[in-house]
Amino acid sequence: MDQAQAGSGSLLRPRLLPARALMAIVCISALLLGACTGSSPGTGSSPGGPPATSPPASRSPVVQAPGPPGKGLELIRKLDLNLTLPWSIVFLDDGTAIISERDTKLIKSVRNGNHATIGEFPGVVPGGEGGLLGLALSPTFARDHLLYAYFTAESDNRIARTRLEQAADGRLSLGTPEVIFSGISKASTHNGGRIRFGPDGFLYVGTGDAQRPEQAQDRNALGGKILRLTPDGKPAPGNPFGNNPVYSYGHRNVQGLAWDSAGRLWASEFGPDVNDELNLIEAGGNYGWPLVTGAPGHAGFRDAKVVWPSTADSSPSGLEIVNGTAFTCALRGQRLWTVPLNGETAGAPVAYFTSQYGRLRDVSLAPDGTLWVLSNNQNPDFALVLQPPR
């Protein structure tokens, strides 16, 4: 969920959620936050996965950088692009930015400071946190020109691909979309929505529990998961549960996916009223929701590597990793968090640009080595272009 109006959640440590309190917490969170995506309950597999053996998470993340432009992170420019609730940004090899807008259903482009509307993505039904969400480019885009999109339809969340064509005059246009994967549960909140191709050439998909937290522990349900698919939308070979798209489970609302230089997958995830997370993802791992949040060292669950105890400081969305540093946008926290990574461990996060640019939705590395950050303020929205530390 976006956690735009959540309570501060002053709990200062990860916690185990008592079963009888779980649904009350979920319902209260939904009322206060207005953000939990829905999906039908699954068939109920039991919690599983190997015991958590990871190092303890960072639990003191509220460190402020010494003011703009910030040590080692330089703001190059702010692009006023007249965007409306942008959600995802990807880049063509020539530096053209391709941006989705959640509620307008539009795909837009930015090239050399000039912005244009490419077209409306068909079949999108916006509502609450649903709409036109994550984008991804085919690993073989130079050959097939395929653009993938995660979006909310009438009855579910689904993934489609379409050709992104370029005319002789440079104008871009959308082909007819082909739905390759459907049936991801939807709700007014917790729709997940981030998609990204991994180094292995497979499509990874972050989903939300769709206000039905019990399905996060059901390996036969699609909500509350990270999925791993072929480019055609089939379960990827080598997935941990056989011919099943599920790669990891026990998630609440995954909205950031990125790989480090060693090919390890990291994900950012919304907590309830406490304990937003940065997780190191392992195949078959159970990340605890709705039974635990944060890093309580509970056997059978994977501990978060970073925990933000107060959702007022974070509500993490888009995620990018550059030169050993994870960058994650904060919606309710209205800042950009940087987290130093060292192998499978994460250091103390540092916040930049706190409350200077409002809610931040996505961050992506451009071909020229800059980082682009999308705002999420509805008045209208813009992009920040940053120079990351070298």
In a domain, 347, yes or no: no
**Sole residue written with tokens 């250091």:** 347
How far apart CA 42 and CA 92 sit, in angstroms, is 38
> pLDDT-derived band of residue 57, with 50, 70 and 90 as boundaries?
low
In a domain, 100, yes or no: yes
In a domain, 361, yes or no: no
- How confident is the prediction for the chain on average, in pLDDT? 86
Total domains, the chain: 1
Q: Which residue has the higher pLDDT, 60 or 82?
A: 82
> pLDDT-derived band of residue 72, with 50, 70 and 90 as boundaries?
confident
Residues 6+ apart with CB under 8 A from 187: 36, 37, 38, 39, 128, 130, 208, 210, 211, 212
The pLDDT of residue 15 is 43
Distances (CA, A) of 154 to 104, 131, 163, 255, 277: 16, 10, 23, 21, 30
Task: Compute the Cα dihedral for 70, 86, 277, 286 and give only its sign.
Answer: negative
pTM of the model as a whole: 0.85
> pLDDT-derived band of residue 390, with 50, 70 and 90 as boundaries?
confident
Interval 336-384: pLDDT, tens: 999 999 999 999 999 999 999 999 999 999 999 999 999 999 999 999 9
Interval 165-178: pLDDT, tens: 999 988 999 999 99
> pLDDT-derived band of residue 2, with 50, 70 and 90 as boundaries?
low
Task: Compute the Cα dihedral for 172, 175, 178, 182 and give only its sign.
Answer: positive
> pLDDT-derived band of residue 45, with 50, 70 and 90 as boundaries?
very low
> pLDDT-derived band of residue 35, with 50, 70 and 90 as boundaries?
very low
Q: What is the CA radius of gyration of the chain?
A: 19
The pLDDT of residue 143 is 97
The amino acid sitting at 28 is: I
H/E segment holding residue 56: none
In a domain, 262, yes or no: yes
How far apart CA 366 and CA 283 sit, in angstroms, is 28
In a domain, 101, yes or no: yes
How far apart CA 249 and CA 233 sit, in angstroms, is 19
Domain interval for residue 304? 15-38+88-312
The pLDDT of residue 389 is 86
In a domain, 54, yes or no: no
Interval 274-324: pLDDT, tens: 999 999 999 999 999 999 999 999 999 999 999 999 999 999 999 999 999
- What CATH number is attached to the domain comprising 248? 2.120.10.30
In a domain, 150, yes or no: yes
β-bridge mates for residue 79, sequence order? 383
Distances (CA, A) of 388 to 69, 77, 322, 373: 11, 13, 8, 12
pLDDT at 111 over 90: yes
pLDDT at 28 over 50: no
pLDDT at 96 over 70: yes
Bond preceding residue 290 cis, omega within 30 of 0: yes
In a domain, 298, yes or no: yes
The pLDDT of residue 387 is 96
Q: Which residue has the higher pLDDT, 57 or 389?
A: 389
Residues 6+ apart with CB under 8 A from 315: 1, 2, 3, 4, 6, 270, 276, 330, 331, 332, 333
